[in-house]
Chains A and B, each alone.
Chain A
Amino acid sequence: MSATAVHNLWTMAAADPIDKIDAPNIEYGQLAPTLIVIGAAVIGVLVEAFVPRKSRYYAQLFVSVVALTAAFAAVVALASSGYGTTKARIAAMGAIAVDGPALFLQGTILLAGLVAIFTFAERRLDPVAHGNRIDSFVAQAGAVPGSEGEQAATKAGFTTTEVFPLALFAIGGMLVFPSANDLLTLFIALEVFSLPLYLLCALARRKRLMSQEAAVKYFLLGAFASAFTLFGIALIYGYAGSVTYGTVAKVVDGTLTTVDPALAGTMGNDALLLIGSAMIVMGLLFKVGAVPFHMWTPDVYQGAPTPVTGFMAAATKVAAFGALLRLLYVVLPGLRWDWRPVMFGVAVITMLGGAIVAITQTDIKRLLAYSSIAHAGFILAGVIATTEDGVSSVLFYLGAYSFVTIGAFAVVTLVRDAGGEATHLSKWAGLGRRSPLVAAVFAVFLLAFAGIPLTSGFSGKFAVFKAAAEGGAGSLVVVGVISSAIAAFFYIRVIVLMFFSEPKADGPTVAVPSPLTMTAIGVGVAVTLVLGVAPQYFLDLAGQAGVFVR
């Protein structure tokens, strides 16, 4: 090619610029919380690559804590400058909503994430091995369980500090999930936070086979659910010719009839809409652990390292319920009379199913898993209200629930015997006699789960049931109260077991944790009591945050 030709190519390109692609207009300030967390996760990866092994733990902990705190500060700054209420808007070319529910849930996820990171970083529960402090995570994830390689890695004092950036990636995805304003962003966020969670589940230091089994199950079933979601998205696109929430909503309620001429054949076909939305909702119900998409929960909660379980149980639920709310309230309000009865049924079997099966559980982590299923049912009751109060009650419930959950799982990490955590319920007999403080704290969490007044559980349950009753779902409240009564049985049974049984001779010991876990538990207790005794301020806060931007 001659020089002229090259020159022409250049100048022609310059003379005739491609005007189809605009530079995207990104509001960095309004997306700051997510950007900070994702950025820190990338820094965490670099830390793994360049920082010497000895100082990685401290560097990672530092990066994570700073990032989560800064992101939370950004959320608070956005909320206080009115983005939660008057200035609520859709940012990033229609991909991300910045509004009250998004900011409230992001704040909750960040605080829950911060507390969970503290439990990730706990290194005092196990005795020092080979001169190294060890945490809940495997020395080297790649080593085959029980192999010589594993022993060598343990002896060398390796630790999987990758858990910090993995957690940050997951948190980053969770921040996007409830604020996603188009279906593709929703799907990408779903994958961004799910993949690190699958990995984290496989990293338990003890009972590694169980942990790996849990991770594989979670991964397989998660991929299965994602496939449904993705297929549903495709169907919705066929129906509406768009994946943006606002546009789909307009097509659903009939204000918009043609979007993309190429799709004229399928647009407005209600079968696509109904099947598509049911499939997307199914994917989200899988994440919140609603019956009958719950079966992964007990196995994964039991197998995953307990700090990860706590994190997952709290933060995933918050993110997934946020996305579910936005989907049902922003995209599908026009379809309310179709999805309400179906969700009603899901809520009923979730509440009853979780509570009933929990009764016969003998492992504390599985018990808490079923309890989380029952709670998903209670939250669904608030979702069904389809009122502004319904939204804010769900927001409040999620905030209250996540701290109790992380606190409860943190207590589970403390009760140990020679094989690591002693999770079989029989081992907890008489714990109240040996370690009254730990047992009392756990009792507080159980009472909060059961929804006893003066704990956050009562305020939250009260708020969602009230919203559901006012939203015309009175019979759902009756079922909710019945399942609460069933659930109270197994929560109280653990309390009775701890305080009124004779301790066994070979019972577990209670480890004295570092200030990290103590903070996590302390925050849990404080939030539980404050939200139980004086919930009004936070109810008001959630009340102000109850409006979605459209």
Chain B
Amino acid sequence: MENLIALLVAAPLLGAAVLLCGGRRLDRVGHWLGTLLSAASFVIGLALFTDMLGKGAEERSLHQHLFSWIPVEGFKADVAFQLDQLSMTFVLLISGVGTLIHLYSIGYMEHDERRRRFFGYLNLFLAAMLLLVLADNYLLLYVGWEGVGLASYLLIGFWQHKPSAATAAKKAFLVNRVGDMGLSIAIMLMFTTFGTFAFGPVLEATGETSEGKLTAIGLMLLLAACGKSAQVPLQSWLGDAMEGPTPVSALIHAATMVTAGVYLIVRSGAIFNGAPDAQLAVTVVGAVTLLFGAIVGCAKDDIKKALAGSTMSQIGYMILAAGLGPIGYVFAIMHLVTHGFFKAGLFLGAGSVMHGMNDEVDMRKYGGLRKYMPVTFVTFGLGYLAIIGFPGLSGFFSKDKIIEAAFAKGGTEGWILGSVALLGAAITAYYMTRVMLLTFFGEKRWQPDAQGELPHPHESPKSMTIPMILLAVGSVFAGGFFSIGDRFMHWLEPVTHHDHGDSPLSAATVTGATMVVLVIGVSLAWVQYGRRPVPVVAPRGSLLTRAARRDLLQDDFNHVVLVRGGEHLTRSLVYVDHTLVDGVVNGTAASVGGLSGRLRKLQNGYARSYAVSMFGGAAVLIVATLLMRAV
């Protein structure tokens, strides 16, 4: 069976190669080819999954070694895969949700003349993401990590004719660079510390390594995770990334790629377990981001940006859980999977609404859509109930467990983290109810578009609604399915290990508290947006609202501190560069160029002078050989 692992990556990679190199001939079938190969990956994943279920918990980890890339003494860059329970979970999520979103895109991108290229990029993304989660060493993981970064860049900027999309793509790429730098430094540190990149040896050797080194590696890994998963302080790119086509937002910037940071931290659990300071940093980042994202989500009128704030916040929950150590790893991944379902569903729903509303994204110009788009309404509604943690739906199980685990951390720390998580749950209920009310309820606030036409909202085609329905099913049942009998915990335990911790509060108390804050959040939103008519133009709002609309001044902060500071730094560097470095470099280049020009003249085209050169050369060769003997 292990020989099938490479096929998981190979199928979408083949798709990307064929679609991107195939040319216009493939325009008519390209989207189906892309979808088919994505589905093939999913089917292979399922086959491997069934096989895995048939084995004992300890024998489930499979390895496939493809080849070594230039082994030099001590340095081994293997292209090898590892498929264990953790990777398997990701494989099914990525290829499953990926396939549904391919299917959705067939309808969504129907009128785009570059649809084939779009599917090529999607396939490229799938291949890179699967490589990321299947790699058996950090170096190969890095290849996948950069690969998803590339795919994300290409897809955010897919409508490159819009300057905003091109800028957003560039921004995402640059911010991610900072995180990638962290990952590369972490890998270098690992190599100097452990002498290898492979997960097995590195994670086993953590016991004998000093805490200082582990903390350094852990913090660098955290930096990497912050970049890819849009966590404070590298969160600023995610909101702008919504410039990409909506299926991209659903797949890459909600369900899969942005969770790579969580995967990295959970995969490197042994490193963080040995470095409590790094772990604390992880929980702080998670806690700050979950509030940050939630507050931003409350103030946005653009439906996709509101959802992007929510994504940031939900990943904050996962990072928080991952920072808790063995108490939280399982729940981080469980929330990741359920979130994959409902957030992808919500984004597809948002895409469907935009599809029907002439690509309008301002929720203040929606209203009363539930009658016009019943399927979208129901599936979006189920996703909404799941994310706020309505009892019995997916989010209820997974988020509740994270809040419990935060309290179970113990001590003051536990109380603070738990309370933040609870507060986050209240805000989640508030902003999601706001989105729901603004979009589907209340009066019609539709505005004519640029051509002066009022939108005619209508239900989307089947290729779009079917994926939404399937994802809604996942949003409703996944959490319950995972939690009954602690199924998911037993499944992942051999990889991540699990520790119950000792909670100062009983599970029932936590659940009760969650329900209370849920009701508070929903009612607040209803008071504000359900009971009163909603103005089409946003009111000025309080200071906090205005700040939240500007993403809590993240860009202003970056501009003042990083851009200005950076400009000063670069200006002084440029000075040194111009005077010192350039002098040397240009001098060298000029002298090499000059030398080249002079040597070139020797090549005068006359056979006689060539022969003289040969003769001289031969003479020198002979004399030199004789001299060597004489010396």
Residues on A lying within 8 angstroms of B by beta carbon are 216-217, 220-221, 224-225, 228, 270-271, 274-275, 277-279, 281-282, 286, 291-293, 295-296, 298-299, 337-339, 341-342, 345-346, 353, 356-361, 437, 459, 462, 466, 486, 533-537, 539
Contacts and interface: CB of A to CB of B under 8 A. Distances in A.
B621 A281 contact: yes
Contacts of A535: 69-70
Nearest to B626: A274
B618 interface: yes
Nearest to A296: B610
Contact of A295 (B70, B597, B614, B628): B614
A224 B614 contact: yes
Contacts of A361: 600
Contact of B603 (A274, A286, A298, A462): A298
Nearest to A277: B625
B21 interface: yes
B233 interface: no
Given A279-B618, A360-B593, A535-B70, 17 more contacts: A216-B607, A225-B614, A274-B625, A275-B622, A278-B621, A282-B618, A292-B613, A292-B614, A292-B620, A295-B613, A338-B628, A341-B624, A346-B621, A356-B592, A356-B596, A466-B72, A536-B70
Nearest to A340: B628
A217 B610 contact: yes
Contacts of B44: none
B452 interface: no
A446 B13 CA distance: 24
B351 to A, nearest CB: 30
B629 A221 contact: no
B628 A341 contact: yes
Contacts of A270: 629
Contacts, number: 108
User: Which A-B residue pairs are the 10 nearest by beta carbons?
Assistant: A292-B617, A295-B610, A359-B596, A360-B596, A278-B622, A278-B625, A534-B67, A338-B628, A217-B607, A342-B624
Given A221-B611, A462-B70, A357 B596 contact: yes
B535 interface: no
A32 B23 CA distance: 44
Contacts of A345: 624
B539 to A, nearest CB: 49
B603 A357 contact: yes
Nearest to B608: A220
Interface string B47-78: 00000000000000000001111111000000
Given A282-B617, A341-B624, A360 B600 contact: yes
30 contacts: A221-B607, A221-B610, A225-B614, A228-B618, A270-B629, A274-B622, A274-B625, A274-B626, A275-B625, A278-B622, A278-B624, A292-B614, A292-B620, A293-B617, A295-B602, A295-B613, A298-B603, A299-B603, A338-B628, A338-B629, A342-B624, A342-B625, A353-B599, A356-B595, A357-B603, A359-B596, A360-B596, A437-B23, A534-B66, A536-B67
A534 B79 contact: yes
Q: SS class of chain A's interface: helix, strand, loop or mixed?
A: helix
Contacts of A337: 628
B605 interface: yes
Contact of A536 (B68, B595, B599): B68
A539 B70 CA distance: 9
A385 B595 CA distance: 29
A403 B621 CA distance: 31
A346 B595 CA distance: 18
B201 interface: no
A282 B67 CA distance: 41
Interface string B69-102: 1111000000100000000000000000000000
B592 A486 contact: yes
A499 B614 CA distance: 39
B392 interface: no
B565 interface: no
A110 to B, nearest CB: 26
Interface in B497-542: none
Contacts of A462: 70
B621 A282 contact: yes
A278 B70 contact: no
Contacts of A298: 603
A376 B607 CA distance: 22
A466 B73 CA distance: 11
A459 B71 CA distance: 11
B629 A220 contact: no
A459 B68 CA distance: 12
Interface in B582-619: 592-593, 595-597, 599-600, 602-603, 605, 607, 609-611, 613-614, 616-618
A338 B622 CA distance: 11
Contact of A293 (B66, B79, B599, B614): B614
A373 to B, nearest CB: 11
Nearest to B68: A536
Contact of B67 (A271, A341, A357, A537): A537
A279 B626 CA distance: 12
Contacts of B614: 221, 224-225, 282, 286, 292-293, 295
